[in-house]
A and B are shown apart, each in its own frame.
Chain A
């Protein structure tokens, strides 16, 4: 058994006690606790005794034991702060190279941090202009058909649920309903402007704090055929004339009265619209299934709850509502839940959002990456400061001899770090301003959500951030220096052995290079995937096809006009664009097995579509042109044959079989090869698909172009569009562009990862440069002597560089497997049809980083190795 005297109470607890306790009470109290501790060791054992000791230390943290801050100390600290700042300034100026490396490195990394802060600042500014924003909740719903869980919750719910909540629930003070889709061409006098918005009820103005510039809040959305315009829309329609009370016509059909003019919406509102129509209007024209319980895709419901509302009770009532209404629809369960409005911008990734939002996961990923980059720059600071320590130990020693306490030395170094990081933040703010436009352009949704405007408050946050970063970066060097033993340092002038064993420095360099290599290889891998997907063989041709949205125009007119252009080789019509993530589906039955139904993806096309897109038919013939719009034919892919087991999956024999689609009997006239109907990276992108024939329902015309001068042709096409439809601007995109857009998320990650890789490499290169300069400088004399003794330059290069080579090799050995594992185990299983990991390209990236490092080591060491030994040694 251990001797009882060897067991001590936990040291940190004693230290904590002496930190907070008054001097006059301390000794006696410490003794008392120690006495109890000794007793407890005997009666209860060491572990328990320690625990009791710790608890007692905290128990004695009382008003009468706490040390009062002394005015004199405060004064001294204040005076010393001035001294710290002065001496810090001097050291920063004296070590120009190190200071520059630190400031530049920190500035680069902080610019990312600033972007993050700016983003968070914007996100938390959302919807705060609503007076009751804390009390507004949105009803979200989860759709479940049979046992198929349909992923996440949706931001929408059914109109039915909205009505039920508004009429039967007593808790919500007000229920605002927004329903789509109140959109179209608004006509006032001769002017026609396309506007979009929602149907809403009078409670809208009670729940939200949108202000009416003109009109009455209580009645604006009460009567049928009322419309509330935003000031902007009103100006577009009526110019400077008063709009209130005027009539407008929607889509050349119904006439509406302008009952209110809404002040323009704040940018930081998660919902954006041009106008609102009274909900009663849409209800009057509603079809039966608009009010169905399972029609959960078109209505947003916001509740204004009393401040003390019981959310769990409300959720229970929502569940009861679901239980009551679920039987009205077959095999479907709809779960309702509440989401606080303040969570909308940064909450779960819900489907069917009312406007663009920023998912929590992407923000977290970005924050994580920003943190890593800042950490890396912080390491540079720590690393270089400790490396420099050789020159500063004596300074610290003398300070201590004069009477500086540990905390004074710490203060000195922390202040120095904070000053450097404040210098860095000035540069970082400049970088922030420069980077902002590029950052906002990374992805269209980012531009919609963020402004990133510099405001005084934001600047204050930036400075606060810089101080925090400075303190964090300076903490370890400060701790290191404060522990220096003054006598030892002053006695032994060249005590380089003191720092030899420091492996921390090496670990930090390895860490930085790992980060750089991981970032660069990931960028390369993701870029390869992006390239792979946008040039993916979808099973049909997409080259030189311009998809033009009809926007309500007659397809025949445009087709006729476009066909007359010599550069246009073909024009077809279609309902939708395949392979970019859009799905249209309907139930299909095979007559031999009437109980088996399946949702089959489809596109309705005309007779020109398949040849134009080069779809391969395995058997049968293309659709033939028809004058009438009745439907009798269908073209299916192999997967449909397989799924319904039609004619033993033999394409030739399947011709003539009948499928029941939307209640119509359609004859299979051809079987085509499978192609990627969904996005190429979707798991089931080549499932069951059919083409249906229609010459009436087209939403797009597909124009195939053969020309040398795309711009001129595009201009001609645009001129034709203007002639046919002078109101709407033409919405035309090349198929290949649309596919690229479908993968814009991947492209954005390439850009972000590439940018971060660039930063990480910059930072680690700076750090390495500093370390190399430092080591070579300290060994200058040794090198000179070696040279005099006859060492060759190559030999010296090897001698100086080998330590760093080793570190780089270790970094590569750690980071390459990590990257490979990450993609093979985490990222790729989520990505269907991905291309194999590009090992060759990855290694190229690693080599590039290493080459950069080697060049840096090389140039610095060669400089030293070539130095004239006589010059160096004569100074002795």
Chain B
């Protein structure tokens, strides 16, 4: 398995998957990210990140039901694995620790 370290964008994608619960598929993730981060998110980037996350075993995917839209093609839904969860938790812990180290006044001055 490749390293479990998460990149910034990988973390965002992983969080979105967790947030969308059962509705996380590529275009949906894209839209949600755009809404939350207010920046343009390219499908190609999301797609390759999803592919990488799956390779790392942080998410798993299955195909949904075929619908009239999307030219009759099925969606691939992503769900977060326990490895994914622990990776998210770990990165949050790291952040929290760092946040806690920051003295009150130094932030106020900014």
- With both beta carbons as reference points, the residue of chain A lying nearest to B51 in the complex is identified as A64
Indicate if A36 sits at the interface (CB-CB under 8 A). yes
B44 and A56 contact, CB distance less than 8 A: yes
Q: Which residues of A contact B74 (CB under 8 A)?
A: 27-28, 31
Indicate if A32 sits at the interface (CB-CB under 8 A). yes
Indicate if A532 sits at the interface (CB-CB under 8 A). no
Indicate if A34 sits at the interface (CB-CB under 8 A). yes
Complex interface bits, B62-89 against A, C-beta within 8 A gives 1, otherwise 0: 0100000111011110000000000000
* A489 and B44 alpha carbons, distance in the complex (Å): 44
Q: Which residues of A contact B48 (CB under 8 A)?
A: 62, 64
Q: Smallest CB–CB gap between A64 and chain B, Å?
A: 6
* A57 and B63 alpha carbons, distance in the complex (Å): 21
Task: Please indicate which of the listed interface residues A8, A28, A36, A64 has the most CB atoms of chain B within 10 Å of its own CB.
Answer: A28
A28 and B69 contact, CB distance less than 8 A: no
Which residues between 18 and 70 of chain A lie within 8 Å of chain B, taking CB atoms? 25, 27-36, 38, 56, 59-60, 62, 64
Indicate if B21 sits at the interface (CB-CB under 8 A). no
Indicate if B26 sits at the interface (CB-CB under 8 A). yes
Q: Smallest CB–CB gap between A845 and chain B, Å?
A: 59
Task: Please indicate which of the listed interface residues A30, A31, A59 has the most CB atoms of chain B within 10 Å of its own CB.
Answer: A31
Q: Which residues of B contact A27 (CB under 8 A)?
A: 63, 73-74, 76
Q: Smallest CB–CB gap between A24 and chain B, Å?
A: 9
Given A59-B44, A60-B47, A64-B48, the answer on whether A36 and B27 have CB atoms closer than 8 Å is yes
Indicate if B43 sits at the interface (CB-CB under 8 A). yes
Given A56-B44, A59-B44, A60-B44, the answer on whether A30 and B51 have CB atoms closer than 8 Å is no
* A30 and B63 alpha carbons, distance in the complex (Å): 13
- With both beta carbons as reference points, the residue of chain A lying nearest to B75 in the complex is identified as A31
Q: Which residues of A contact B26 (CB under 8 A)?
A: 28, 32
Q: Which residues of B contact A8 (CB under 8 A)?
A: 71
A32 and B63 contact, CB distance less than 8 A: no
Known A-B contacts: A28-B63, A31-B71, A34-B71. Give 20 more (CB < 8 A).
Answer: A25-B51, A28-B26, A28-B73, A29-B47, A30-B73, A31-B73, A32-B27, A32-B43, A32-B47, A34-B69, A34-B70, A34-B73, A35-B69, A35-B70, A38-B69, A56-B43, A59-B44, A60-B44, A62-B44, A64-B48
Q: Smallest CB–CB gap between B25 and chain A, Å?
A: 8
A35 and B51 contact, CB distance less than 8 A: no
Which residues between 5 and 50 of chain B lie within 8 Å of chain A, taking CB atoms? 25-27, 43-44, 47-48
B71 and A30 contact, CB distance less than 8 A: yes
A31 and B51 contact, CB distance less than 8 A: no
Interface of chain B: mostly helix, strand, loop or mixed: helix
- With both beta carbons as reference points, the residue of chain B lying nearest to A29 in the complex is identified as B47
Q: Smallest CB–CB gap between A563 and chain B, Å?
A: 95
* A683 and B7 alpha carbons, distance in the complex (Å): 79
Contact sample, A vs B, 20 pairs, CB 8 Å cutoff? A8-B71, A27-B73, A27-B74, A27-B76, A28-B25, A28-B26, A28-B74, A29-B47, A30-B71, A31-B71, A31-B73, A34-B69, A34-B71, A35-B69, A38-B69, A56-B44, A59-B44, A60-B47, A64-B48, A64-B51
Q: Smallest CB–CB gap between B46 and chain A, Å?
A: 9
* A62 and B48 alpha carbons, distance in the complex (Å): 9
Q: Which residues of B contact A31 (CB under 8 A)?
A: 70-71, 73-75
Pairs A-B, 4 closest by C-beta atoms: A31-B73, A28-B76, A31-B70, A34-B71
Q: Smallest CB–CB gap between A509 and chain B, Å?
A: 43
B27 and A35 contact, CB distance less than 8 A: yes
Q: Smallest CB–CB gap between A840 and chain B, Å?
A: 66
Q: Smallest CB–CB gap between A488 and chain B, Å?
A: 27
Q: Which residues of B contact A29 (CB under 8 A)?
A: 47
Q: Which residues of B contact A33 (CB under 8 A)?
A: 43
* A59 and B42 alpha carbons, distance in the complex (Å): 11
How many chain B residues touch A (Cβ–Cβ < 8 Å)? 16
* A38 and B69 alpha carbons, distance in the complex (Å): 9
Q: Which residues of B contact A60 (CB under 8 A)?
A: 44, 47
* A700 and B59 alpha carbons, distance in the complex (Å): 98
* A64 and B44 alpha carbons, distance in the complex (Å): 12
- With both beta carbons as reference points, the residue of chain B lying nearest to A9 in the complex is identified as B71
Q: Which residues of A contact B43 (CB under 8 A)?
A: 32-33, 36, 56
Q: Smallest CB–CB gap between A18 and chain B, Å?
A: 11
Q: Smallest CB–CB gap between A87 and chain B, Å?
A: 39
* A56 and B44 alpha carbons, distance in the complex (Å): 8
Q: Which residues of A contact B25 (CB under 8 A)?
A: 28
* A59 and B47 alpha carbons, distance in the complex (Å): 11
* A430 and B35 alpha carbons, distance in the complex (Å): 74
- With both beta carbons as reference points, the residue of chain A lying nearest to B61 in the complex is identified as A28
* A56 and B47 alpha carbons, distance in the complex (Å): 12
Task: Please indicate which of the listed interface residues A27, A30, A32, A38 has the most CB atoms of chain B within 10 Å of its own CB.
Answer: A32
Q: Which residues of B contact A9 (CB under 8 A)?
A: 71
Complex interface bits, A1-21 against B, C-beta within 8 A gives 1, otherwise 0: 000000011000000000000
- With both beta carbons as reference points, the residue of chain A lying nearest to B26 in the complex is identified as A32
Q: Which residues of B contact A34 (CB under 8 A)?
A: 69-71, 73
Q: Smallest CB–CB gap between A375 and chain B, Å?
A: 41
Q: Smallest CB–CB gap between A627 and chain B, Å?
A: 99
Complex interface bits, A349-368 against B, C-beta within 8 A gives 1, otherwise 0: 00000000000000000000
* A36 and B26 alpha carbons, distance in the complex (Å): 11
Q: Smallest CB–CB gap between B78 and chain A, Å?
A: 10
- With both beta carbons as reference points, the residue of chain B lying nearest to A60 in the complex is identified as B44
* A30 and B43 alpha carbons, distance in the complex (Å): 12
Q: Smallest CB–CB gap between A720 and chain B, Å?
A: 91
- With both beta carbons as reference points, the residue of chain B lying nearest to A5 in the complex is identified as B68
* A847 and B3 alpha carbons, distance in the complex (Å): 82
* A68 and B75 alpha carbons, distance in the complex (Å): 23
Q: Which residues of A contact B70 (CB under 8 A)?
A: 31-32, 34-35, 38
Task: Please indicate which of the listed interface residues B48, B71, B75, B76 has the most CB atoms of chain A within 10 Å of its own CB.
Answer: B71
* A59 and B46 alpha carbons, distance in the complex (Å): 13
Q: Smallest CB–CB gap between A625 and chain B, Å?
A: 97
* A100 and B58 alpha carbons, distance in the complex (Å): 66
- With both beta carbons as reference points, the residue of chain A lying nearest to B76 in the complex is identified as A28
* A598 and B15 alpha carbons, distance in the complex (Å): 92
* A28 and B78 alpha carbons, distance in the complex (Å): 12
Q: Smallest CB–CB gap between A332 and chain B, Å?
A: 63
Q: Smallest CB–CB gap between A10 and chain B, Å?
A: 13
Q: Which residues of A contact B63 (CB under 8 A)?
A: 27-28
Q: Smallest CB–CB gap between A722 and chain B, Å?
A: 87
Q: Which residues of A contact B76 (CB under 8 A)?
A: 27-28
- With both beta carbons as reference points, the residue of chain B lying nearest to A30 in the complex is identified as B73
Q: Smallest CB–CB gap between A255 and chain B, Å?
A: 82
Q: Which residues of A contact B73 (CB under 8 A)?
A: 27-28, 30-31, 34
* A62 and B60 alpha carbons, distance in the complex (Å): 21
* A183 and B73 alpha carbons, distance in the complex (Å): 83
Q: Which residues of A contact B75 (CB under 8 A)?
A: 28, 31
Task: Please indicate which of the listed interface residues A35, A62, A64 has the most CB atoms of chain B within 10 Å of its own CB.
Answer: A35
Which residues between 191 and 242 of chain A lie within 8 Å of chain B, taking CB atoms? none
Q: Smallest CB–CB gap between A284 and chain B, Å?
A: 75
Q: Smallest CB–CB gap between B65 and chain A, Å?
A: 12
* A570 and B51 alpha carbons, distance in the complex (Å): 99
Q: Which residues of A contact B51 (CB under 8 A)?
A: 25, 64
Q: Smallest CB–CB gap between A66 and chain B, Å?
A: 12
Which residues between 413 and 433 of chain A lie within 8 Å of chain B, taking CB atoms? none
* A62 and B49 alpha carbons, distance in the complex (Å): 13
Q: Smallest CB–CB gap between A56 and chain B, Å?
A: 7
Q: Smallest CB–CB gap between A482 and chain B, Å?
A: 25
Q: Smallest CB–CB gap between A312 and chain B, Å?
A: 40
* A9 and B73 alpha carbons, distance in the complex (Å): 14
Q: Which residues of A contact B71 (CB under 8 A)?
A: 8-9, 30-31, 34
Q: Which residues of B contact A28 (CB under 8 A)?
A: 25-26, 63, 73-76
* A506 and B70 alpha carbons, distance in the complex (Å): 44
* A31 and B66 alpha carbons, distance in the complex (Å): 10
- With both beta carbons as reference points, the residue of chain A lying nearest to B68 in the complex is identified as A5
Task: Please indicate which of the listed interface residues B25, B51, B70, B74 has the most CB atoms of chain A within 10 Å of its own CB.
Answer: B70
Q: Which residues of B contact A30 (CB under 8 A)?
A: 71, 73
* A59 and B45 alpha carbons, distance in the complex (Å): 10
- With both beta carbons as reference points, the residue of chain B lying nearest to A59 in the complex is identified as B44
